[in-house]
Structure 1
Amino acid sequence: MSAENQYMVLLDRARAGDRAGMGELAGVVWRRLHPFVFRITLCHDVTEDVLQETLLAMICGVESLREPQRFWPWMYQIAYAKTRDAFRKRRRQTSVQSALLDRRRTDGAWGDGDPADARLRAETRERVAAAVERLRDPHRDVVHLRCYEELSYTEIASRTRTTPQRARVHFHRAKASLRQRLQACCT
């Protein structure tokens, strides 16, 4: 049996719900995509993370794949998108870390400032946390996933079983609701 026919058999088994077939297909996908992702990331840890997220997306979406012959382009597209998300996340973390370092340089170390400032920051954190808790479930969930777990809209959509556009809408509405609640409590 040719390699092409073998993966089609595995794909059919996976789409039918066969867990063993899904596991074998995941192994084939891992071996085929690893060099592609590694050439982009040049980091083994990031490559492993991207491939895990790619396989998770495959497992969640393989049943809805309309054209089985488009499996490999679909997998490469997912892997490339996950790679871009990983770079964005790393860039965001790096910019936050540099902002914190800049603030420490200008303000001194955290806690060295005025006790009134520390109390004000603590009160602000408490108000924001209380306002987030009062949000509706979908809005609270998307705020938690976006702000605390720093997930992309695509990752949020896969976790909440919605579309990335819908996740953006929920986040936008959640921010507007938070803004209203925080303005109301401060006036």
Structure 2
Amino acid sequence: MADYSLNIEQLVKKAQLGDKGCLEQLVSRAEERLRADVYRLTLEDELTAEIVQETIVEMFKIFGQLNDPQRFWPWLYKIAINKFRFHQRRENLRKAVPISSVNPASNSKDALTTLIGEELKQAIFEAMRRLKPEHRTILTMRCYREMDYALIAESLGCSRFAAKML
């Protein structure tokens, strides 16, 4: 049975040793985190779900190749980014999702606060949509996941300087 107090590195080690509970917990954590981050890249629910699923399947296939459990997140992000790039090349996707599907703040009692929140979401969404996918990727990793440029560079397969310059 999986120990829910384990950190990612411990889960990876135990999962690589055959602990199915730890592997299930690792997949659960990875899916949750990937779903948020991949959505920020695709801006589409269906494509996000597809890329996350493909990433998890690929993770299973090559899990034994992960030599350093501390590098799990950069390793997984690299897989997800490659899946995103594949979809982007294959279908040349550049569609936007209506802001109404981006989890609106419907429980707010203050109409003005709700309106301002919706306008802010719309502005952020439009700004993200106008960015090149490479820039959205770096922005997501740096701002939402607080990754340093060394980890970003590793995930993207580029130099630290290149990650900063993108």
Report the structure number with the largest CA radius of gyration: 1
TM-score w.r.t. the length of structure 2 is 0.50
Structure with more contact order per residue of length (Cα contacts < 8 Å, sep ≥ 6): 2
